[in-house]
Amino acid sequence: MSKVVIDMSMSLDGFVAGPDDSKAHPLGRHGGEKVFDWYFSGSETYRHPLFRPEPGANRDEVERMFAESGAFIFGRRTYEIANGWDGRHPVNGAPTFVLTHRPPAEYPRGPSNLTFVTDGIESAIRQARAVANGKDIKLGGTSPGQQAPAAGLCDEIIIHLAPYLVGGGVRLFPALPDGIRLEKLSASDGPFATHLRYRVVKGTR
């Protein structure tokens, strides 16, 4: 069965983007783009023009992302900033679901078959699982990344931890009413990121 996995790049002080993120500044100000330097530190395009990871741990993570990802779930803000990925998510053009209260009348068509989900994270995961072909359902952006763990629906968390202090902006993990226990599965180091993978231990705090 597909796992539900948060897969996010994050600064050492816990931010996935700087303040004032927008289409003009997709990763915010204060150097928010530094959080993703590991994607671009190499000299050769790999798999998609967006990715230029150096050989080694960084490239291994991108390879694993392409191999394991079957569907993606994002929030409406990420969708807007990314211009709907022009209808094709950069990872395999995978099916993509967007959490929103009000679906847009017009949106880019493409192989990702953008689906707008108005009835919550559980419904989005259920729909994503139906098309992921047993591969992982990846949660991107803070909206699904916060809702799924709070609802007990997250199986793993992958953090690409950047050696950078953004100092403010969009925080991935807010205060939770109860703690969530994690089990470390792996850790690897590459230029500009330490890649950490955890299993969410269900039924314990």
One digit per residue, the tens of pLDDT, for the chain of length 205 reads 899 999 999 999 999 998 878 777 777 787 888 999 999 888 888 888 888 999 999 999 999 999 999 999 999 999 999 999 999 999 999 999 999 999 999 999 999 999 999 999 999 999 999 999 999 999 998 999 999 998 999 999 999 999 999 999 999 987 676 789 999 999 999 999 999 999 999 875 5
Predicted local confidence at residue 50, as pLDDT: 84
Q: How far is CA 196 from CA 57, 77, 96, 199, in A?
A: 11, 26, 24, 10
Predicted local confidence at residue 27, as pLDDT: 76
Predicted local confidence at residue 178, as pLDDT: 77
CA 76/CA 82 separation, integer angstroms? 10
Predicted local confidence at residue 204, as pLDDT: 58
Q: What is the pTM of this model?
A: 0.93
Predicted local confidence at residue 141, as pLDDT: 87
Q: What residues contact 130, with CB distance under 8 A and at least 6 apart?
A: none
Q: What residues contact 129, with CB distance under 8 A and at least 6 apart?
A: 1, 2, 71, 137
Predicted local confidence at residue 205, as pLDDT: 56
* Block residue for tokens 């069965």: 1
Predicted local confidence at residue 179, as pLDDT: 84
